[in-house]
Amino acid sequence: MKQYFVLLFACMALWGCGGQDQIETPPLKIIDQIDFSHVHIRDNFWSPRLAKHTSATLPVCIDQIENQTGRMQNFENAARGTGKHSGIFFDDSDVYKALEGIAYSLINNPDPELEKKADEWIDKIAAAQQPDGYINTFYTLTGQDKRWNNMDKHEMYCAGHMMEAAVAYYQATGKRKLLDVSIRMADHMMELFGPGKRHWVPGHEEIELALVKIYRTTGQEKYLDFANWLLEERGHGHGSMGGEGKWDPAYYQDVIPVRELTDISGHAVRCMYLYCGMADVAALKKDIAYVEALNRLWDDVVLRNMYVTGGIGSSRHNEGFTEDYDLPNLDAYCETCASVGMVYWNQRMNQFTGDSKYIDVLERSMYNGALAGVSLAGDRFFYVNPLESNGDHHRQAWYGCACCPSQISRFLPSIGNYIYGTSDKALWVNLFIGNTTEVTIDGKKVVMKQETDYPWDGLVKLTVTSEQPLGKELRIRIPGWCKSYTLSVNGNKVDSTTDKGYTVIKEWKTGDLIVLNMDMPVEKVSADPRVRQNTGKRALQRGPLVYCLEETDNAKGFADLALTPTSSFEVKDEPDNLGGIRSIKAISNGQTLHFIPYYAWDNRKAGKMKVWIDYQE
């Protein structure tokens, strides 16, 4: 059975696989994710959320962009060369992220009307592009003489999100118009910046990973080289953020060269995009120094700066970090975009090593920090995700800075990306989500089917059917929270080996029914003693879900509720509450405490909330 150790940090104990030898990280990724376009999710937990994404989240984004905020009007004005710019200088990026969400939705849910809407947007975007390839409505409408003078004005950030949307839409429809616009913008930037040209340090990272997507789509290595050059620009004194002096270089990750990084600093979302870009370039350039830096950074983030919800960024002041173990609950920032970024980054880290600890963190961020960012109805959003509320923190229909709603719009339809992987020797099962997946592996048609009521239940049924033998072992992740499980093949219990948190099935044949049954008790988790805000407190977790108390369920003496070592727990199935949940009832000192999953809070009557509960020894 798997051994365990506790990674104590950020308001919690994150359960990880123990007893593992330290391994040298290879310079190349060893696992390729199976793209969500091959994954058809049929799942009692995720299917309703994906349906709400189509029926509510995307329509909200479209309405806000077209009718409420002037974001699309900016493109129309830029195309005419007249009119004012409305909103913030980086608002173009919200249009691009929503467009990426539309593209992802179209991949698995074709909709001619939605595609028509996307084409209308793309026509307006293309019309706003300048003759030299430049596109950014803020500078087109406020003074093109000012463009490329302030590294913090998000010109490359917006361009990067446009590139990601362009690649997504090209993959979804085969239409190149936005892709060609993006290529022209990339070429424009490369005429100005690069070896022997102007220095440039993007104030908000994103362009780096986007250029890698353009490289993979076009096959032109110059885009990969430019991404690498931009990463190498950092930490050499080239950054200049318009002379405003609001933030120091640490805020922009510009203190030392990226290959020398050891600690996370500054703005949380910028860090996540930087690390994703580093991982992508490292995999293609075979840069082991980047991977070694990312390993150091991962330890710093997860062991010293991450919340129990998988959220990161404790400070509202800089939307990021202060010092290690400073993890307030009421004032936690935990931006939704940063939790999504944790999913992106940890998936990449898993591809380098095949170590399940990265998927453990990915899952934690996905089910808690990211999922809390959207209401159960799919039409209201959190920007900030605290772990305690006085009753005055609520989701909103939109924000002046609306990066999080548009981020959720592109993240949710792509969750199938994180379920499976493939490598030379193995098929990898990372997440437990009901689905049927059809994919070609090594020239052979393979169908994978997964049935489960996860995250409410630990029973997972998996079949893999291949027209010819694959010659690959199956590696099924055993989550870090799981202390006890059974594994059977065709009803026969097996004692498989484990490696880096994966149970390894070497002997199997097409059509075998593989059943993994994980015990899912309620766990009391504690914070690292250095997290002073959680001294004398505990949180509850069951499976991948973190739970919280809401005042609406615990109106009597909310401030005085406490857990004890002898608290007993009852898991209750509530199909008609909060979209269908399993709640936890705790009996403690004669009190009854009603816990709900953290992602579901603030969907009913307004009131106080807390994740960390007083603990009476």
- Asked if 11 contacts 327 with a C-beta cutoff of 8 angstroms, the reply is yes
User: Element (H or E) spanning 595, and its range?
Assistant: strand 591-597
Task: Give the pair of three-digit tokens for residue 567.
Answer: 């608290």
Catalytic annotation present for 403: yes
CA distance 455 to 545: 7
CA distance 184 to 179: 9
CA distance 175 to 187: 20
User: Element (H or E) spanning 408, and its range?
Assistant: helix 403-411
CB neighbourhood size of 429 (10 A): 23
User: Element (H or E) spanning 347, and its range?
Assistant: helix 336-353
- Sign of torsion over alpha carbons 256, 258, 264, 269: positive
CA distance 110 to 114: 8
Task: Give the active site residue among 17, 61, 271, 403.
Answer: 403
Q: Who's near 574: CB < 8 A, 6+ residues apart?
A: 580, 581, 582, 583
CA distance 520 to 360: 15
Q: Who's near 492: CB < 8 A, 6+ residues apart?
A: none
Q: Give the type of residue at 65.
A: I
Residue position matching structure tokens 């403690």: 588
CA distance 573 to 569: 13
Residue 466 is given by DSSP the state E
Exposure string for 472-490, b = 16+ CB within 10 A, e = fewer: bbbbbbbbbbbbebebebe
Task: Give the pair of three-digit tokens for residue 283.
Answer: 């995999």
- Asked if 40 contacts 435 with a C-beta cutoff of 8 angstroms, the reply is yes
Half-sphere exposure of 178 (CA within 13 A, CB side): 30
Based on C-alpha coordinates, what's the Rg of the chain? 24
How far CA 320 is from CA of 12, 52, 205, 269, 504, in Å, comes to 19, 30, 14, 8, 38
Task: Give the active site residue among 100, 319, 388, 473.
Answer: 319
Q: Who's near 559: CB < 8 A, 6+ residues apart?
A: none
Q: Who's near 58: CB < 8 A, 6+ residues apart?
A: 98, 101, 102, 105, 114, 409
How far CA 467 is from CA of 422, 446, 493, in Å, comes to 17, 7, 26
CA distance 90 to 560: 45
Task: Give the pair of three-digit tokens for residue 210.
Answer: 């986007």
Catalytic annotation present for 548: no
CA distance 217 to 324: 40
Task: Give the pair of three-digit tokens for residue 121.
Answer: 């947007």
Active site residues: 319, 403
